[in-house]
Amino acid sequence: MPDPLLTLANVESAYGPVRAIRGVSLSVPPASIVAVLGANGAGKTTILKTISGIIDPQKGSVHFKGEAIHGMDPAGIVRRGLCHVPEGREVFPMLSVLDNLMMGAYTRTDRDGVRRDLEQVFGYFPILKERAKQQAGLLSGGQQQMLAISRAIMGQPELMLLDEPSLGLSPKLTREIFDIVVRINRERGTTLLLVEQNAAIALEVADYGYVLEVGRIVMEDTCERLREKEDIREFYLGMKDAGARGERRWKRKKTWR
Amino acid sequence: MQLLQVLIGGISQGCIYGLIALGFVLIYKATEAVNFAQGELMMLGAFCGLGFSTALGLPYWAVLPCSVLAMGIFGFLTEALVLRPILGQPAFALIMVTIGVGYVARGLITMIPGIGTETHVFEAPFHDEVITLGPLVIGMEQAVIIGASFLLCGGLFALFRYTRVGVAMQAISQNQLAAYYMGIPVKRLNSLVWAISAGMAAVAGVLLAPVTFVHANMGFIGLKAFPAAVIGGFESLPGAIVGGLIIGIVEALAGFYLPEGFKDVAPYVVVLAMLMIRPHGLFGTSMRKRV
Ligand SMILES: Nc1ncnc2c1ncn2[C@@H]1O[C@H](COP(=O)(O)OP(=O)(O)OP(=O)(O)O)[C@@H](O)[C@H]1O
Ligand SMILES: [Mg+2]
């Protein structure tokens, strides 16, 4: 096993009195795709925000490429090669598509590299090239998601955090975007940490998965094996009929701890 | 022809309002705070200019960049040391702090013995020159104000449109969180916006000084630049300039055609009328970022 690119050890983060994640430990090996699954409010977004320095953890440590990055400011973390595609796209609505992409490359000084990455991004998402001069706020939701992913690529990350890229997209577009996400991983060698509600597709593309419930990690395994687990099939892939679901869930949950 | 003469006077005064209004708008867009010390920054800029020219004996053309630089540093530090610590508090707190900064600035100036409470003449080398265009006579001071304002606006436009830092400033004002995600140094750029605003106030101060003299209360002109920013929509840079010109021209016309006293009320009447017709201002948009 190579040294992990990213390690979280016992991380706890809170919003004021609300403790959102408790004792989260996970590791992401280089060049892999790792998925974190969990229901609404489980704390998935909080984990990613803690990694990229938007919020500081109260306890625990975050190491990236062997260096402690918790408590560092977000700009420093981006410069070290870690880019975040936030939940809900968060494009700059009144800037052109091209300017949005260039903002993704704000921390870079290698003009040639930026130009090359721009070409590659336009290769992944030709629609962005067509709309390069248009305001980003006028793109459709799916196109904005493409822009958000592309903008992060422009930062030339070694590790990319993806927060629910399928949010609000049709199944077809979700599939298209995930195909590109996998290509980014294979062709650019970018490591991906992916957060998803759409467990089916996340388990399909990822190598390793963590299951998060109310701020704690309750299960982890290779995605191959996760796909076979009965709890996962039932609660995340919806493969059993809804019968006595409430009661069942309660019992199952115990076996995860 | 007399009307044209009055108009030119109004335009040059309007440029000054516009420059100060630009400062309001820049800071508002970047930090969502209204900087009520903008007029006082102009006053400090004028005193800076006075100091450079009388104490150091610098020529007028050198005084301008030196004052801009000095006020730029002052603006940068004000943001970094006074405003940043209370960032995240309600907008109300930020506004109170800027009002406080204004009072302190005025207080500090009046405390300078022998200088602060006086009214000073600050003569530009071209102060009695005129440009004659047929029957039209334009004072050189007015021409310089108009010319310099337009150059400055052009520069500002280029900064925001074509430079990386300028586009990043726009990005911050549109989605600050996303700017953090991109690794844009949001705090440093906000300080820079303050520096630019203060620098522009210094230009306004040094340009206005030969016309109105230099005194501790000249910052109250900010109260007229504020309506200019409101007319422009408070979020639009061209709007601030146009708003400034409108206020300047209305004021000049009111001063010329209407009885004494109307001149000072006119800008506010215009603002009220504007707010009734177009609540978002001339250039304001009701377009918000998509949900
Ligand atoms: N800004 C905030 N202030 C206070 N509490 C918050 C804030 N953001 C999130 N929380 C709380 O923290 C917990 C975890 O939120 P988080 O956004 O990480 O969930 P999530 O797993 O990303 O959910 P979703 O799938 O709905 O995006 C929730 O209970 C939420 O209410
Ligand atoms: Mg979330």
Domain parsing of chain A, residue ranges:
6-81+158-256, 87-156
- Model confidence over A117-154: pLDDT tens digits? 999 999 999 999 999 999 999 999 999 999 999 999 99
DSSP labels for A34-70? EEEEE-TTSSHHHHHHHHTTSS--SEEEEEETTEE-T
Q: Is a pLDDT exceeding 90 seen at residue A186?
A: yes
- CB contacts, 8 Å: B164 with chain A: 102, 106
β-strands A33-38, A216-222 pairing: unpaired
- Model confidence over A42-56: pLDDT tens digits? 999 999 999 999 999
Check if the interface score ipTM surpasses 0.95. Answer: no
pLDDT at A247 (0 to 100): 44
pLDDT at B130 (0 to 100): 81
Lowest-pLDDT choice from A100-104, A200-204, B87-91, B255-259: B87-91
CA A46 to ligand 1: nearest atom: 18
pLDDT at A121 (0 to 100): 95
Q: Is a pLDDT exceeding 70 seen at residue B284?
A: no
User: Token pair for residue A49?
Assistant: 């925000």
- Model confidence over B56-105: pLDDT tens digits? 888 888 899 999 999 999 999 999 999 888 877 887 888 899 999 999 99
pLDDT at A100 (0 to 100): 96
Find the CB nearest A106 among B175, B177, B182.
Answer: B182
For range B236-252, the mean pLDDT: 91
pLDDT at A1 (0 to 100): 64
Stretch (H or E) spanning A207:
none
For range B115-144, the mean pLDDT: 81
Of A25-29, B91-95, B207-211, B215-219, the range with the highest mean pLDDT is: A25-29
Which 8-state DSSP code applies to residue B79? I
Going by pLDDT thresholds of 50, 70 and 90, the confidence category of residue B191 is: very high
Count of CB pairs separated by less than 8 Å, A with B: 71
Residues of chain B whose C-beta is under 8 A from some C-beta in A?
Answer: 164, 167-168, 170-171, 174-175, 177-185, 287, 289-290
- Model confidence over B21-70: pLDDT tens digits? 999 999 988 887 889 999 999 999 999 998 898 888 888 888 999 999 99
Looking at residue A38, its amino acid is G
Residues within 6 Å of ligand 1 by CB: A 15, 18, 20, 38, 40-46, 87, 197
Going by pLDDT thresholds of 50, 70 and 90, the confidence category of residue A249 is: very low
Which 8-state DSSP code applies to residue A163? E
Lowest-pLDDT choice from A87-101, A137-151, B122-136, B219-233: B122-136
Lowest-pLDDT choice from A226-230, B26-30, B223-227: A226-230
Chain A closest-CA separation from residue B183 CA (Å): 4
The 10 Å Cβ neighbour count of residue A186 is 11
β-strands A67-68, A6-15 pairing: unpaired
Q: Is the four-CA dihedral B201, B206, B207, B210 of positive or negative sign?
A: positive
CA neighbor of B197 nearest in space, from B26, B4, B60: B26
Minimal-distance CA residue of chain A relative to B174: A92
Q: Which domains does chain B have, with CATH numbers?
A: 2-277 (1.10.3470)
Q: How far is CA A247 from CA A239, A250, B232, in A?
A: 17, 5, 61
Architecture label for domain A6-81+158-256: 3-Layer(aba) Sandwich (3.40)
pLDDT at B11 (0 to 100): 93
Classify A19 as helix, strand or coil.
Answer: strand
Of A200-214, B21-35, B249-263, the range with the highest mean pLDDT is: A200-214
Q: Is a pLDDT exceeding 60 seen at residue A250?
A: no
The CA distance from A20 to A197, in Å, is 17
- Ligand 1 mutation pick, A12, A13, A15, max ligand atoms within 8 A of CB: A15
The 10 Å Cβ neighbour count of residue A228 is 10
Residue A7 half-sphere exposure toward CB, CA atoms < 13 A: 11
CA neighbor of A168 nearest in space, from B225, B61, B290: B290
For range A92-113, the mean pLDDT: 94
For range A163-178, the mean pLDDT: 92
Longest dimension (CA), chain B: 60
Percentage of chain A exceeding pLDDT 70: 91
Residue B219 half-sphere exposure toward CB, CA atoms < 13 A: 27
- CB contacts, 8 Å: B171 with chain A: 92, 95, 99, 103
Q: Is a pLDDT exceeding 50 seen at residue B241?
A: yes
